[in-house]
Amino acid sequence: MPNTEFPSENDAVQNRSAEVNPRAGTLTGEQRAAITELVDSIEPVSEELGDLFSSHGQQLAVVGGPVRDALLGRASNDVDLTTDAVPQRILELVDGWADAVWTVGIEFGTVGLRKRGLQLEITTYRSEAYSPESRKPEVSYGTDIHDDLLRRDFTVNAMAVHLPGHEFVDPFGGLADLRDKVLRTPGRPEDSFSDDPLRIMRAVRFAAQLGFTLAPEVAEAARDMADRLTIVSAERVRDELTKLMLSPDPRRGVELMVELGIAEHVLPEIPKMQLEIDEHHRHKDVYEHSLTVLDQAMDLERERGHGPDLVLRLAALLHDIGKPKTRAFEGGNRVTFHHHEVVGASMSRKRLTALRFSKDVVGQVSTLVALHLRFHGYGKGEWTDSAVRRYARDAGDQLERLHILTRADCTTRNRRKAAALSRSYDDIERRIAKLAEQEELDRIRPDLDGNEIQEILGVRPGPLVGKAYRFLLELRLENGPMDKDAVAAELRSWAAEHLEQEGRRAQ
């Protein structure tokens, strides 16, 4: 492999970087090794591809996230390349060399390919901008890598490594900003956010994901231009929000969204919680309480051996969004939020649907929001087995998440009360586990199926069979498994009473 060249060894690149941005730094030995490792990770494909483009008079470079992550010591699954060749020229160059080629993103200048199991994306140097009313960017191609890096979102993503030769390019001080853990834009942030308003969301996502701060001018521009997010497709906003929620510090991202007015256009229910006092009078406000619940849910997520869980984290953040709509003032300066879990479940469903989350995610989050208060009726363990069965059955496949959410929802500073709540939940989990062993709670069915119901009652398929089935399900939840003769007797008794009532109503 050729010797890697770096800024300290390449006066032309170093001088150009200094002219454009005096903060441009030089790589440390560890960073040089990281860049070498990045290039090695795509060898020999990268060398062959670089030689192929170079021999035809075209430029090629690894760019953006993979370079940033290599310098941060983070793993990256992406291999993003940039070139001065237009898409049709890229297709001509890789024809016969690549094992497979796809053109899904070709309208935005991107060609995908696979070589020896390695997937690459090559994008033509470009600039893109949104017209005031457009939801799709207008793309134009360029011929200079400097101009291509200038149009990228942040300086830490505006670094590249040329192939072949491995020359490191950093014209806007991305290396220095990596060191300082700050997000800046290569040009004016107003221009960057105007070109692609989604970068406003990306800024807070990177803050949560990388632990970076926003440069003052970036934060100011994000605040002033937050309403531009309304022209971005819901799907793109959803994807950024998902990455933010799955980051190591989603709380930081949410706080920035609220602070900069971004949440008003993405999750407007969140800032509305800031002035709502929690019914326990133990928290600054419902907003702070919800962020604490999110933090504690993540702690429990890790303690229980789970990976980052989007559904759980969304449910933790949204579990109390129904409180502003249900707040009522009663005697003695008492504030109530009756049925806020029901209202919150409906609001969660509506918001997540608008953001184009999948039906599964929408349904799971709204179920958790609807059930998050159910445990508080448990008291000192006086629930019957039937009540425990209903709790587990209503949660269904969300039971483990409900366990975590309910535990995380305890944010009281009263240690005795917190310990009592924890013991109570330990108890209900033990009871659920015991009943599950005995009865397979997640697959509870009536002791008689539809055919048996029809046979015992002497009826054909119809509404009566459905009503009988629901009656037997409640009987099963109340009593647990029963002898079939006993169940048949209960069914006949129910049917006789039910038919008698129907007859009286018909008269």
- What letter would DSSP give residue 278? P
pTM across the whole model: 0.76
Residue 20 has pLDDT above 50, yes or no: no
Please tell me if the domain spanning 181-266 has the same topology as the one spanning 267-443: no
In the predicted structure, residue 189 carries a pLDDT above the cut 60 = yes
Cis amide prior to 44 (ω within 30 degrees):
yes
Cβ-Cβ contacts under 8 Å for 278 (sequence gap 6 or more)? 285, 286, 289, 320, 323
Question: pLDDT, tens digit, for every residue of 416-429?
Answer: 888 888 888 888 88
Domain locations in the chain?
7-180, 181-266, 267-443, 450-506
Q: In this predicted structure, what is the pLDDT of residue 31?
A: 74
Identity of the residue numbered 63: V
Tokens for 324, please give them. Answer: 């502003």
pLDDT digits (tens, 9 = 90+) for 65-112: 888 988 888 877 778 899 999 999 999 999 999 999 999 888 888 999
> For the chain, percent helix, then strand, then coil, each to nearest 5?
60, 10, 30
Tokens for 29, please give them. 């030995």
pLDDT tens, residue by residue, 209-240: 999 999 999 999 999 999 999 999 999 999 99
pLDDT digits (tens, 9 = 90+) for 246-271: 999 999 999 999 999 999 999 999 99
> Which overall architecture, per CATH, does domain 7-180 show?
2-Layer Sandwich (3.30)
Residue 126: per-residue pLDDT: 81
- Our separate counts of H helices and E strands in the chain read 24, 13
DSSP per position, 447-462:
SS-HHHHHHHHT--SS
pLDDT score for 299: 96
**CATH code for 181-266?**
1.10.110.30
Report whether 421 contacts 280 (CB < 8 A): no
| 193 burial type by CB count under 10 A (0-12 exposed, 13-18 middle, 19+ buried) | buried
Render the burial of 306-337: b for 16+ CB within 10 Å, e for the rest. Answer: eeebbbbbbbbbbbbbbbbbbbeeeeeeeeeb
- In CATH terms, the fold of domain 267-443 is Hypothetical protein af1432 (1.10.3210)
